[in-house]
Amino acid sequence: MQIISHLQTFHTRHTFDLNVRLCEGSGGIVAWSPTQNFALTLRSNDTTQATVDADTLFSFRIDGDRKRIDNADVDRLMQTTGTSNTSETFYDREAGTLYSAIEIVSVTLNGQSYVIAADGAAGAITTYEVTSTGGWTTRETIRDDASSGFSGVSAMATVEMADAAYVVTASASENAISVFGLTEGGALAPVSTLSMADGLPIANPNDVQIVQGAGGTFIIVAAAGSDSLTALKLNAQGGISFTDQIMDSQDTRFDATVAMDWITRDGRIFGAVAGADGGVSVIELLPSGRFIVLSTIEDTTEIGLTGVTDLLLQVTATGLELTTISASEESLSTFAITVSGGIVQVQGGKAEGTNADDLLFGGDGSDSLVGNGGADVLVDGAGVDTMRGGAGSDLFVLDADGEIDRIYDFNTEEDRLDLSAWGMLYSVDQLTIKGRSNGALIYFGDEILHIVSHDGRRLSALDFFDAMILNAQHVTVWEPLSDGPEDVQGLDMTGTAGADTLVGGSGDDTVTALGGDDIIFVTGGDDSIDGGAGRDTLTAQDVQFGVTLQLGAGIAGVEDLIGSGFDDQLTGDSVGNLLDGGAGNDVLNGGGGADTLIGGAGADAFDGGAGIDWVSYADQTADLSADLSGTTPGTGVAAGDTFVFVENLLGGSGNDTLIGNGADNELIGGAGDDLLQGGSGDDTLIGGEGDDVLDGGEGDDLIIAGDVDPAILELFL
């Protein structure tokens, strides 16, 4: 799945310690030397010449597109507008040696800007309040002790979360990651620490960054000594927990992890990582906190990726743009990374992607994931799942669940598998692969994967190899690894203009989804939800207790509600809503508008309210009977169901009995041998497939027997 393409390379002298970052406000690139005050000379690969400032900051053009640079001092350069920042390394010019490194980072808390500086050699961190004139006022200095884990600080990062701000430090001497809470006034309070002594498998961490996406807030740690990338989830209280670690291999290019940058696009988290082995790997962090390697590009004589010292990711209209600095080749290179899709998440249902490069994320339950076009990533989750990538080079990520999963339309020349979650799997030779007439069966322990080839040919073990099935070299931590308080407070999450999946915590969350057809997961607390534009769904399917959800009561801009597996109360608003109660004895109130109500298992009470409303049993396969008049008790999944202000019924694929009332009803039987009785009123009865009995009763009725064209059926729904 090659998604990286080289755009252009420029050559420049004095790049041995050049840093490259986004320039605040201008949207361009700023590059500078932290140790030297020299003029840089750039020469392009064509006749275009770059302009250079006389100081350590400069500006230049790439392919005619001007990259502007502010002539700001370091103070302003470090004060960015994002909610998470990464420290830069500066050197004491007075000392004049590389051993006088100081890490400096900025952060904002309740509108006040602060600067944090760490002297690793001295084991001290000082916070400064930034004044209105740009000056720094010293607020506090803390020093390392036996429990703090920040001697030899090699990197820092900051993040703003709701009304809190946190400072994260990486200690190269103690192999530790520490989190501090920043209080108003600039004081730092230790919150959590994980180190090698606790079982965190890192050695010589040299970079740390914080990134926020659909799955929450994550700390990414690069460790040169262990050639690794580690993900830690950071909760709203400052607690951290280990989610994944991958090590460099012959198929990736981050040996010694020299440089990395992480960014969020449409809720998805992407990173670019370079090491000492000549190249760059593009990696995605899934909402679950698991790494997957999307693509790796190796150095050639034209693109200048030997000795990369720094790099930068930017979001573009078609994906991402990567800028790299190479010291040994004295070059600055740019690359296009094509990632264009959003996140589609489902739990026990069907999810379809677009023609873009989507991430389809299955949860617990039996899921059906269809990627359609584009280079998609399909993650199955627990349960008996089916996946179909469609056109494009797709990556299928399998969970260890002991179930039989199926992949259709698999192209061995384009598609890849990630079976690394199966545990203790290091080589294709450990798999039992049995060819079938149209594909293959893959066995490993309790896992069974059925693959159907795209061209219907038989597959064998020769069609699979290590790089195709393992994706990345993951490190297993056998015991849960975490420190600090649990996540019990509310989250503050904002989506994008696209289709997002936002997952709340157990506290009082504030979720602003913005545009797109969003899915918002609630798990507890008194949440404030704003779905924004698009048709949005609020779901409590992961909650382990009954919920009460009412559109308009702290829930704005949301059209559809999904309950838990327990006794729920779901209430719609004045527009056409879909309310799905799930299992349990649910109470569903449609409110105004033409609503669709789905009760699921349990004795459910349906109140359609104003408008022409449907109760749907379309997902049911067993026989059932439902009577809108209440004269005949319901059977099957409809047993105990009651109906008020409901006009229409939609049956499932079993042999259903659907009975209307005195209103003008529409009854659709679906597949199976159905009995439809309209009663009085001007009714519409559609039998569907099977041998149906249709009885309109009194009134002027429309009877449609047999199967019906979906386009016609759509007119009645």
User: Exposure pattern of 681-692 as b/e (b: 16+ CB <10 Å)?
Assistant: bebbbbbbebeb
User: What pLDDT was estimated at residue 547?
Assistant: 82
User: What pLDDT was estimated at residue 50?
Assistant: 35
Question: Mean pLDDT of residues grouped by 10 in the chain (717 residues)?
Answer: 78 57 48 45 34 35 29 46 72 52 82 84 82 80 74 89 87 94 89 93 95 90 95 92 93 88 90 90 92 89 83 87 84 85 69 85 81 89 88 91 92 92 87 94 94 94 84 86 74 77 74 88 78 90 79 88 88 93 92 93 93 94 94 94 95 95 92 92 90 90 74 49
466: buried, middle or exposed (CB in 10 Å: 19+, 13-18, 0-12)? middle
User: What pLDDT was estimated at residue 597?
Assistant: 96
Nearest partner of 454 among 440, 434, 444, judged by Cα: 440
User: What pLDDT was estimated at residue 394?
Assistant: 92
User: What pLDDT was estimated at residue 347?
Assistant: 61
Write down the domain spans for the chain.
343-474, 492-716
96: buried, middle or exposed (CB in 10 Å: 19+, 13-18, 0-12)? exposed
The SS3 of residue 492 is strand
Q: Give 600-652 as a DSSP string.
A: -SS--EEE--SS--EEE-TT--S--EEETTSSS--BGGGTT-EEES--EEE--
Predicted TM-score (pTM) of this structure: 0.66
Nearest partner of 258 among 222, 286, 288, judged by Cα: 222
User: What pLDDT was estimated at residue 148?
Assistant: 67
Question: What is the Cα gyration radius of the chain?
Answer: 29
CA distance 399 to 381: 5
Q: Which residue has the tokens 């040919």?
A: 457
Q: Distance from first CA to last CA of the chain, Å, rounded?
A: 41
Q: Which residue has the tokens 């000492």?
A: 276
Contact 493, 505 (CB under 8 A): no
User: What pLDDT was estimated at residue 1?
Assistant: 57
Q: How many CA atoms lie within 13 A of 415 on its CB side?
A: 28
Candidates 3.40.720.10, 2.150.10.10, 3.40.50.1820, 2.40.10.340; CATH matching 343-474: 2.150.10.10
